Structure 1
Amino acid sequence: MDKSERVTVGIFRRMAYKIEHLKRWKKLSIGLFLIVLFTICIEVGSNLSYIRLKGNEKGMLQISEEDIDVTGFSNTGEGYRFTENSGTIHLDLQGRYVDKFVYTYHYEGLLDMKVRIQYHNEFGKAEQKELIDKNSAVIRQSVINIRRNVDWIELYTDTSLLLEDGVSYIDLSSLELDITGFYVKNVFNWNPYRIVIVFLICLLILFISVYHGFFGKKIEYLFLTVGLAGGILMLLCFPATKVGWDEEIHFRRAYELSLYPGGEEVSSDFVNLFNCGIETWPLNLPSSLEERQEIDKYFNDVCAEGGTGAVIQSSGVDIYTTGYIAPALFLKAGRFLHMPFTVLYQFGRFGGLLLYCLIMCLAIRIIPTGKRILTVIALMPTPMFLACCYSYDSVVIAFISLGLSLLLREIIEKDRRFSWTDYFVALACLVWGILPKAVYAPLVLIGLLISGSKFENKRQKWLMRAGVVFIFLALLASFVLPSLMSPSNFGDTRGGDVNVALQMRYVLTQPFSYIKILFQNIWRRLPSCLMGAEAFLILGHWGIAGFGTVSIVYTCIVILTEGSGDKKILSGKQKFFLFLIAAASVSLIWTAFYLTFTVPGSSYISGVQGRYFVPLLLPLFLAAGNKKIRISCSDSVRNFVVISISAFLLFAMIWTQMLGMRCL
């Protein structure tokens, strides 16, 4: 091909690229218009029942006293005061349509009400529903979504409902409860959360469809796009209070780190967010759009900049610091930008989410086998929930996954020259992820699987292996030595009457008895922790995600078919070694909780949760895989199938468990 022909070919290629580029922009423009139209239709459709109502049935309608019958409450003229050990309020609504039922009150504690509703179903038949209405201590109205024609509503409470277990620093029995009004709220509702969720999900589908050629070959970018979109929608639904495990502790550590190297004066109400008190009680989360907005307004007011009454000092560096750097940096940036408190709180959470998605994307890109397995794990509801909360668990999961991906690349790609840079980066990632939870220290030993043939000489091989063993022993020492040197300061008082020294004496003097207890507890709980709801579906204090059976079956199919057509696989000996390493970490997890969280001499190990096993799923699932099951389709198709199912499970959980239960 001469020069003129090459120039002509180049011109045609540029023209073809420009035409294709214009076609994509045309598709995006048309798609964006249709998405906006579809979102508007969803909002109008969600308000059809309101549109059909007569004029006198619309608005905020107060329920008259003639329709109210009370027992255990006295009429004060301004409302109804709770005066007995139990009380009932019966509201006769005579078949009226009720979109939202509202009752206002004055109460400084956590108001829990049993609510019974008799309504008419789609066939006009009367049915009853009962629910527990749990209200935050910082709101003064309860809003219950009904969207039915209602015969009557009955509210019931008693002293046992009002005296919340776990709240002992306030005498809840001395607080007075006044119910001040009852309303039927039938208004047209443009729900901002629903609008954003519908719009973003549709935009995600459009974007991936237009650029399907690129995304099909790069499952890591599919994960990054879906993970960030899903995480942002989860943050949109979260209130600016504790929803995750021990989130108040993790928020305090992240906030203190963000103040380094100084301190800050804040309001006395601000520091309440560092404790699990009635203002942040995680069992009384908002159950409607109005409650969420009232909670946000309360915290924006009491935690505004310029508050006085308390001083927060920056924290020093410790083994947990690696888990909080990202949210701390985002909190610092948010304060610099003078964000309102609720936005600042969510911005810090977003820092953790962004780090998780970026590191997991890199891990999926690097790992030579098991890309779809790692994608499935990363997008499951529990890991995504952890990534959206103040927690070091997401950092542990992400950096361990990245470290293992680097090691597995050295192990599996035998033609690849050994890289000291990759080796040190892998160990650094593992140390970064394991420091907050040293029970995963055995995972470092996976580096011993790197073949000796990859090294230039024996000295290089033994230097590498000595480094692996040294890092393993150092990480293990960070867990073991504090418990040996100062057992009185090492226990977790949440476990009850914990005594590490006494518990260690039981273990060391009766090792066979402890081994029996250990295996009994592992046998009883481990299956659910590895392949059940505990590992994939628990959402902290929020509840449990749905599609449990689907999630388990789907994960098993991905594990068993991942090796189809893959030449880069682990040998039987390597899989067995992965299994042993994971088993060692499992034993360490249970032993740690037996020492630090369990009453001495108990035969049941307390405190173990499924989320602690997520970092172990990758090596275990790789060990369980095989190449005998063949699938006759391209990698692109398999990537889209996996990401579609994972995205469905994630977004279905967001729509039903978060938007539907908390933000409508």
Structure 2
Amino acid sequence: MKLKAIKKYCIPIILIVIALIIEMFLSNYKLIGLDKAEIGKNSIDYYIEDNNLIIDKIDSYIKKLEIHYEADEDAIVTLNYVYLNEFEKGNAGSCKIELYEPLNSYILNIGKNIENIEIADAENVKITDIYINNEYTFSFIRAFGISVLFLLLYYVFYNRKHICKRLDVLGLMIILGIGSIMIVSVPSLANMAPDEQIHVYNSYYNSSLSHSEFSEAFYFVSESPGHSLPLSIETNLDLNEHLNSKEMTEAEASPKSKFVTYDQAPYLIAGLGIKFADILNFPFTIGFYFGKFTNLIFYAILSFFSIRKSKIGKKIVFAISILPTSIFLASHYSLDGIMIATLTFATVMFLNMYSDKNTKITKKDLALFIFPVILASFAKAIYAIMILLLLLLPKDKFSSIKQRRLFKTSIILILLLLSFTYVVPMMTGGIAGDSRGGDTSFAGQVTSIVTHPLGFIQMCANNIYIGVYKYLFNPENYNFFGYLSAPDSTMRLLLFVLLIYISLTSGHEFKIIKGKTRGIIIFIVLLISAMIYGAMYLTFTEVGNSLVAGVQSRYFLPILLLILISILPRNKYIANNENLEYSIISVFYIIILFISVYSTMIVLYAI
């Protein structure tokens, strides 16, 4: 018993200590071989040539470059440099950085042996001093990330003999752990997830039911186009300190309606976190993170219950719930995470009701299906079509023919009611073209379709043909981090192979879904897909264009489980040791997730 307690409580503490030691080594091991004079913070000489700032004959290791400047407005400069690789061969490198007007200094991670540096495009900024910063540092965020990695791997190892029964808890831990790393690693700016500036505005606007309050800090983080992300933890901290200053956080409250429109309801989730931070009088940047965390917690809890409640396809639900793309979207002010979580949960509830032939339909099961679909359709009305799945429930689920007919009538009425949020604005001209798509016009696009019906049909067929690979079989879709740099292609491919393996070896569990039912599910999937394409073609595509603009893979993630139900083979596969198999799969999944986040977020912004 004592040995078991040691394993359960002491080993995690040891792993955290090891993570701290590893971080201390990673941050400072390159300083060990330097001369004493090179350690610390040293000023460096430079000169101006052809309006470019030149620093030559450096020939030394630079951990961080510290630039001090004076500017009347934000200025984007280009840093060109020559560094020596492992074989002491010169290589050229370049990056753009944004020097923020209020900060007066910028620290840039270099971590290379540099020969010379050129700072170009610096006409609108006066650089006063430049330092080589080779001081000893410690990244608490990287230490946190490594700790999360070790603890997740340890949980899998500790439960390896019955991990299949713990997939719900493991999924919850992965989502909260990896999602938290994503949130704390990236800067307090809103230009990472697609359309995030819009979602930030709506979340803050709905964080209070009685008034709206927007500070200068809010306008700074939600400005579109967004600011360049600071490429070091030091500059991020300086930026946060500026955003939390009195002059940036003062704002006058304006009265607003206490009524929240249906399309704004999903923003109440992030708004709850923002309001909670406001009540506790936390700084602005902490409140900004709280909004993200409440979105993540909502996604994690609903995913936990999706995995736990799933009677068939549990492993596939687990794999979908911990997709890197889904966790990333859930960790930001995007509504996509909410839609993925709600519709995956609704699909699980449908599968449970459909597969349990001996149990009559209950109000609880119906509520657990309908309310998530309604919440998702508030965000994007096209997903209201999911309500039609209830029409596929077997007749044995009802006590009488009358009850079954009344039930089907109610479902049709609910669908019509939800459709009003999409159809009525379309019919009344309330939907206009989105200027971000170019020369768009809703009315002009409709006229074009009416006058060229055969061309429209051909265009639809071509786009669907292209989209099957682009949005379903493209590995990039499942390990995608918005506007941040893309994860390594190897990680994307490994994850995709893992997803295929999980799907093919677990797909037999859907054999209870008969051919006719599968056909109807495919029709529902195609109908939702057509509405996605239709919405983007009418509002986001230039009139007469033969390629639908604005369609993205994230729109299909909420119906990924439905798609897999439709296309997976029914061949039965039984692993010799299922717990061992999923212990190995979980380890690979966790490592892929961590490396993807580490390379795209921690290394760039949190060190």
TM bin (shorter chain) = over 0.9
Report the equivalent of 1:170.
Answer: none
* CA deviation profile, 1:359-418 (whole Å, cap 9, x unmatched): 111112222222222222222221111101112211111111111111111112223332
Report the equivalent of 1:141.
Answer: 105
- 2:527 equivalent to 1:584: yes
1:483 aligned to which of 426, 433, 439: 426
- Report if aligned partners of 2:27, 2:139 keep a CA contact under 8 Å in 1: no
Report the equivalent of 2:493.
Answer: 549
* CA deviation profile, 1:129-176 (whole Å, cap 9, x unmatched): 2333455565433333222322211222278xxxxxxxxxxxxxxxx3
- Report if aligned partners of 1:560, 1:624 keep a CA contact under 8 Å in 2: no
- Report if aligned partners of 2:19, 2:143 keep a CA contact under 8 Å in 1: no
Report the equivalent of 1:70.
Answer: 48
Report the equivalent of 2:28.
Answer: 47
Please give the alpha-carbon distance, in whole angstroms, between the structure 2 residues aligned to 1:377 and 1:596. Answer: 30
Report the equivalent of 2:37.
Answer: 56
Please give the alpha-carbon distance, in whole angstroms, between the structure 2 residues aligned to 1:480 and 1:363. Answer: 31
Please give the alpha-carbon distance, in whole angstroms, between the structure 1 residues aligned to 2:276 and 2:253. Answer: 22
- Report if aligned partners of 2:148, 2:178 keep a CA contact under 8 Å in 1: no
Paired AA for residue 561 in structure 1 = T
Paired AA for residue 49 in structure 2 = T
- TM-score where L is the length of structure 1: 0.85
- Report if aligned partners of 2:188, 2:221 keep a CA contact under 8 Å in 1: no
Report the equivalent of 1:37.
Answer: 18
Report the equivalent of 1:155.
Answer: 119
Report the equivalent of 1:11.
Answer: none
CA deviation after TM superposition for structure 1 residue 207, in Å: 3.8
Please give the alpha-carbon distance, in whole angstroms, between the structure 2 residues aligned to 1:470 and 1:509. Answer: 33
- Report if aligned partners of 1:561, 1:627 keep a CA contact under 8 Å in 2: no
Please give the alpha-carbon distance, in whole angstroms, between the structure 2 residues aligned to 1:273 and 1:156. Answer: 26
- Report if aligned partners of 1:323, 1:396 keep a CA contact under 8 Å in 2: no
Report the equivalent of 1:185.
Answer: 133
SS state at 1:70 partner: strand
1:258 aligned to which of 197, 207, 224: 207
Please give the residue correspondences for 1:346-425 in structure 2 after superposition, counting only pairs within 5 Å: 346-425=289-368
Please give the alpha-carbon distance, in whole angstroms, between the structure 1 residues aligned to 2:255 and 2:217. Answer: 12
Report the equivalent of 1:663.
Answer: 606
SS state at 1:435 partner: helix
- 2:445 equivalent to 1:503: yes
Paired AA for residue 121 in structure 1 = N
Please give the alpha-carbon distance, in whole angstroms, between the structure 2 residues aligned to 1:616 and 1:69. Answer: 58
- 2:243 equivalent to 1:299: yes
Larger Rg: 1
Report the equivalent of 1:194.
Answer: 142
- Report if aligned partners of 1:116, 1:129 keep a CA contact under 8 Å in 2: yes
Report sequence identity in percent: 26
SS state at 1:90 partner: strand
Residues 236 and 656 of structure 1, relative CA distance in 2, 3 Å threshold: same
Report the equivalent of 1:234.
Answer: 182
* CA deviation profile, 1:220-274 (whole Å, cap 9, x unmatched): 111001111111111111221112222222122111211112344x544434444
CA deviation after TM superposition for structure 1 residue 339, in Å: 0.8
CA deviation after TM superposition for structure 1 residue 595, in Å: 1.0
Residues 522 and 332 of structure 1, relative CA distance in 2, 3 Å threshold: same
Please give the residue correspondences for 1:18-37 in structure 2 after superposition, counting only pairs within 5 Å: 19=1, 23-37=4-18
Aligned Cα root-mean-square deviation (Å):
2.4
Report the equivalent of 2:393.
Answer: 450
Paired AA for residue 122 in structure 1 = E
* CA deviation profile, 1:504-551 (whole Å, cap 9, x unmatched): 222244333222222222222331212325532321221322322222
SS state at 2:91 partner: strand
- 2:568 equivalent to 1:617: no
- Report if aligned partners of 2:156, 2:587 keep a CA contact under 8 Å in 1: no
2:482 aligned to which of 540, 564, 572: 540
Please give the alpha-carbon distance, in whole angstroms, between the structure 1 residues aligned to 2:496 and 2:99. Answer: 34
SS state at 1:260 partner: coil
Please give the residue correspondences for 1:70-109 in structure 2 after superposition, counting only pairs within 5 Å: 70-73=48-51, 88-109=52-73
Residues 210 and 275 of structure 1, relative CA distance in 2, 3 Å threshold: same
Deviates more, 1:638-647 or 1:47-56: 638-647
- TM-score where L is the length of structure 2: 0.93
Residues 427 and 41 of structure 1, relative CA distance in 2, 3 Å threshold: closer
Structure 1 portions without partners, runs of 5+: 1-18, 74-87, 160-175
State the number of aligned residues. 604
Report the equivalent of 1:598.
Answer: 541
Please give the residue correspondences for 1:285-364 in structure 2 after superposition, counting only pairs within 5 Å: 285-301=229-245, 307-308=250-251, 311=254, 313=256, 316-364=259-307
Structure 2 portions without partners, runs of 5+: none
- Report if aligned partners of 1:561, 1:625 keep a CA contact under 8 Å in 2: no
Paired AA for residue 32 in structure 2 = I
CA deviation after TM superposition for structure 1 residue 200, in Å: 2.5
